[in-house]
Structure 1
Amino acid sequence: TPGQNGVRERAFQSLKYERLYREQIDDALDLVREADAYRAEFNTVRPHQALAWNRPSDVHRGLADPTVPNFPEPEILPTT
């Protein structure tokens, strides 16, 4: 579907700019390690706007609804 393609494209762009362009990649094994670590973070740690700020792994396992926002309690940050 079009939405999934957009998520994949953003994920690949994020992988490049957040990991591959910032880390020294010496060989194919380093590339695989970096890509695997990023995929795990992308799917299990980071909430996604396209999934109403839920994590992809939670949506996939049926633990979250991709249309219902799952926001943590708001933090009150200092203003000065």
Structure 2
Amino acid sequence: MEYEKLFLEEIPDALDLVRHAEDYRIEYNTVRPHEALAWNRPHDVHASTADPLVPNFLKPANLPTT
């Protein structure tokens, strides 16, 4: 668990700490891409929807020039 993630705001009790930790776990596994997984998300690699050796970058949109 990232140390600085839990200390960005005051957490008054254990139940709030549990909620904070769970929110961070969800963000870490489903939102944030990981360099070690070729910039894929751990949940996608675990669910076999992404290859941990092949980057899964979004392709840039080609906008019309005129």
TM-score, reference length from structure 2: 0.84
The 5 Å alignment of 1:25-40 reads: 25-40=11-26
Q: Which runs of 4+ in 1 moved over 2 A?
A: none
Residue identity matched to 1:38 = Y
Counting only pairs closer than 5 Å after superposition, residues 55-70 of structure 1 correspond to structure 2 as: 55-70=41-56
Any stretches of 5+ residues in structure 1 without a counterpart?
Answer: 1-11, 76-80
* Identity, % of aligned positions: 62
5+ long unaligned stretches in structure 2: 62-66
Task: Choose between structure 1 and 2: higher helix proportion.
Answer: 1
- Size of the aligned set, in residue pairs, is 61
The structure with more radius of gyration: 2
| Distance in 2, Cα, partners of 1:72 & 1:45 | 14
- After TM superposition, list the pairs within 5 Å mapping 1:35-50 onto structure 2: 35-50=21-36
TM-score, normalised to structure 1, is 0.70
Shift of 1:73: 2.5
